[in-house]
Structure 1
Amino acid sequence: EEIERRLAEKQTEVARLAARIRRTQSDIAALRGEIARLEGQRTTEEEALARLLRVMYRVHAQGGALPLILSGDDPVTRATAVRHLASLAALDARLIREYRGTWERVADRKGREEARQQELAALHADAQREQAEVDREAAKRRTLLAKVGDERAYHERMVGELTEASRRLEAFIQELQDKQRKLAKAPPPKARVEPPGVGFGSLRGRLPWPTAGRIVVPFGAQVHPRFGTRTFRNGVDIEAAEGTDVTAVYGGHVIYTGWFKGYGNLIIVDHGTEYYTLYAHIAEIEVKEGEDVRQGQRIGTVGDTASLAGPRLYFEVRYQGKPQNPVEWLGHRG
């Protein structure tokens, strides 16, 4: 259990660092785009300044403004020439201000880019260290699982722990239900022979699958083929590639997210009218307690937290606290 928890924590940290790396890379790309735009603007301003300097040079080569003012031309011509010169001087000052501002912005963005590049390098180093920890913990876990698969004593101990974990989960769900009823200020409902025909209950056999994959451990009584140990599964194991999306099968309210012994990272969704779904062995939880989710919304990814058989999703459907066979609720896939 301690190995499982440490491994899950390290995997979560690696995922968090990967997300930060992606955000930092996005920031760097945005800064580079802005730098390119500003450098293009600076080039345009340099060309405008060069043209203005050529005009001013020609004016000065002809003796400057004084000959124009003292020329024998009529007053209207002289006034027009003076206005042109004043406009050139104002344009000169404005272009210089704009050019200086653009230069400063380019320098600022380049400084920011350099800082983000340094941050990115540090994040990559952290991610490599954390991944090395993940690899070490995973190796310990594989060694332990090999013993479970080969030695009856280890296997029977793990079966006992899983049975106890199932009982704890049952009690925990009951506590959550009681809490939800108190929040709603509603008494416990009377037992029904058939689920209600509205909402979640109306979708028996038509719910979308929570992930892409195939059921490898069914609902109900199980007998181990080698050791003959008997267990009862309150849900199904859906084998899928690690990182595959896990989605809510129906809209509802997230009432629990976190580590649960024997199940790893766990998500519980309350769908109302005493229906709940559970999603376990999650690699990355992407919702929070108290959050409302819609049908088909991604709530996490497939992982192998507390799984004894590699990446898979453990999925339960419960009605009034009692486990239902998920196969009877999920739609057929072609």
Structure 2
Amino acid sequence: RNKRGRSILILAAAILVFAPLFYGTFSKYLNTYAVPQAEALISAQTPFLPDGEQKVTFCLIPDSLPPGSHVFITGNHPNLGKWKPAKLPLLKNADGSWSRTLAFPRETKLRYIYTLGAWDNELTRRDSIKPDVQTMTVINDTTVVLAHPNWKIPRRDMVIDMMLIYLGILFTGMLMISYGQFMFTWESNHLETILVKPVETHRYLQAKFLLMLIFGMLFFLVSLPLAYFGSLILKINTALFLYNLGVNTFVMFFLSFFSRKRFDLNASLLSTQGKGGNQFVLVLPAFFGPILLYLPFGLSGINDLGLSFLAGLGVAGIVFHRPILAFMTRLFLKQKYKMVAGFRQS
């Protein structure tokens, strides 16, 4: 019961710590936008006008939109958000148009665009559609109508996301994978001695598991400054950090059980040990496994949900590490004699 309670507490703590990073992924599936009534729409749109300011009503008549979509406006003026995305939502009218009324000083020159959602984490190719930048000078109270705009739609390039996932595995799991691929090979010269020591096999593997967790946490902390280049990088690195701890750790355990080549720790620095084709094949699942798992989500256009899926797998692996380690212990007991025999022959 104590073990089960501890696992539940760990899962709850992980959700509380990391859920804010992925809130945006699920919020767009949970939020609904009610169509306001005419009276509420007018009262919500009419701002208080200081002396010398004019009302400008921005009205947009779009083509058909996907369900749950919402339209925003941003531009060069502080009242337009100074080009910040998803700050000023337009309100939907009964006729399907979208509008919002704002106040500006007379003679203000405005430059603005309409957007469908936010694009602060957008990574697109050079041939992506550029929005129509509208311009105007505020003279009197006016209504500006735009139909069928060429607007900015947030989308991420799946190929770039996959490249960032690969880099995320490197940044957060480089030391862990470097150690894990030679997990028992490091001790190949004296593995027989270790196995006859009065140490439980489960504790022996548990110590290696904790060591790999420490390696992963250290490299994740080192990678945190990369968040300066965008919250998307932080989100990907966090998802891959959890995936490395909860999934790749056990992948390295499993694959290292089939290692048969001795590793000489006294060899020169330029030794080619561990650089053969077998070691290359050994790390392929660790590097390309998360990319393949993410691929269906990327092809479906739900990129963030794919990252949440990877993070969820990692959290599940961490929470249920005890039964997984028990399975790994049984597998190690079956393979240890073959490993020792292989180390002797090499």
TM-score between the two structures when normalised by the length of structure 1:
0.21
More strand by share: 1
- Which entry has the higher C-alpha Rg, 1 or 2? 1
